[in-house]
Structure 1
Amino acid sequence: MTPEASPGTDLVLAKVAPPSSAASTAPAAGDIARAPEAVKALELALPTAPAAVDKASTVPVKRGPSIRMPRVKKPTKKGAVSVVVMTFAAALVATMALPAYAFGGGGNFDSGVATDASLSGAQTLEVPDASAALAISRDNYKAPTTEELAASREAAAAAVAATEAANRAADAAAAKGATASGSGAFTVNPPSGSYSGAAIVAFAEQFVGVVPYGSGASPDTSFGCDGLTQYVFGAFGIYLPRTVSNQAAMGIPIAPEDAQAGDLMVYPIGHIGIYAGDGTMIDSPDWGRYVEHRPVWGSYYFVRIVA
């Protein structure tokens, strides 16, 4: 057998060849003679026992702190929900911050917009003097004086007094008419003169407070507003048709400052009366009332009947 070194050791082993035949089972004479040499070689190759170590002369080796690797925990449902919530919150903050960042000019999305750096220099602003081009004008309105206010109050008081006087006259005429109605038909006084405005007013005055309002055109029954004007002008030979619009078409419209007693006063709401002068009128007003002589009222225009 031949000594052979084994890898990684200093041990030398004897390699024994396998027997090739039955005769080789018996050791040869030369092998027996070389046996002591092989045993000696094997003893040289075996490692010797380590020498005794002097513990007093040895220096202890310092060991560093042990490093413990963190344990990876298995993800739980609660942790997954927390991750989703934090991700959503971060996305929400970013969504809210981007418009503010863009509005503040930090993103500089528009290259044509001036930044803070370009506006840091001196700036000037010119304002045209527009007041120089404005023309100063005044309207014609003037505040009323103390005298004008006093006159207005006096006129209002006079109108109220005239209304009260007309109401008292109407009540007196109604009482007179009630007494006369028991003795017979209403007696109409004929016109005292030829056709004129004053004659029209004088003739119509006798029906004030006597003839009630109605749909008729005779003092024996009732007077509608157009029935009164038809009857009064008919007494002077002037025919007026019924209805307010037809009677207004028979005359000539005149300006308010040219109005005279005896002219017709036409109301767009469908009413008509006789202008008596001095801001008063004679008309048959409404159901439950009699012919009245009262102050003018409302919106109207004047129409003159030419004989």
Structure 2
Amino acid sequence: MTELREPLDAPNDQQNPNTSIDTPAGVSHTAAAPGSRRERRESESDIVPSVPRPTTVVTRSATSVIAAPRASAPVAKATVKTAPPRRLKMPTRRNVAGGVVMTFALGLIATMALPAYAFGNGTAGFDANNSADLAGAAQSITVDDNAAALAVSRDAYTAPTSEELQAARDAAAAAVAATEASTAAASAASAEAPAAGTFAVNPPSGAYSGQAVVDYAEQFVGVVPYSAGATPEAGFGCDGLTQYVFGQFGIYLPRIVGNQAAMGIRVSPEDAQPGDLVVWPMYHIGIYDGAGGVIDSPDWGRMVEHRALWGSYYFVRIV
């Protein structure tokens, strides 16, 4: 480093900074400066110390060089796959069965919880000691003075005596014996009846009239047995008798009691005449004799009968 010293006897004039102490007086620095830029820097380095600059060493490895892709190399295109739409799955038997079981379990739990909820009024839990407290506590009730006391009475029913029971048994046995006797008599009469195809029927007498119908039906009483038929040879049902008798006068009646009753008009008992139909609703029918009796075919094992009216009935007139 060059040290600058100023003599003590030097004048106070300002020294030109471009003037070096090594430069002779009167010689300009500009004139003495070298002509090239490099020479000027070297001359200045003699005056101003140079500051060393940090040197950066750049090291490149062989892998740091990335080769550029060739222009001829094909560029792969990305393929985007679209997911298929989701389909709603139908419920299976297993899912349905599980739902039914879960619903039943919830209903069972709710059913078991309702009595306890009602007992606790919805706010308190069940206390097993409540029953003991209620049983041991004294209870009282207040009755209004205006309340009327109910009279306690017993009905008049008494158990039958042994004599009354025996009398009832005897009466039942007598009824059974009478029925058996009647059935036996009907069977005997049926055996004596003429064979099928040999029954002689008298034709109707005169023009149609109620009394003529009664007179014509009278010839079958005690002769033709009861059956499901509608001819004298085959036997008569109740509706078979009326169908056959009225058919001989040119009047057609269908089978079945209700159907025959619907063929005429209903008349009052005071206006009933011979030849009207007597109808026991839904089960029996006969021919009214005009004097409180009926000609009908009653039941199995019996013949056509002429007997008194009974029970609940009404009259129908065929017009």
- TM-score category of the 2 structures, normalised to the smaller one: 0.3 to 0.5
TM-score, reference length from structure 2? 0.41
What is the TM-score with the length of structure 1 in the denominator? 0.43
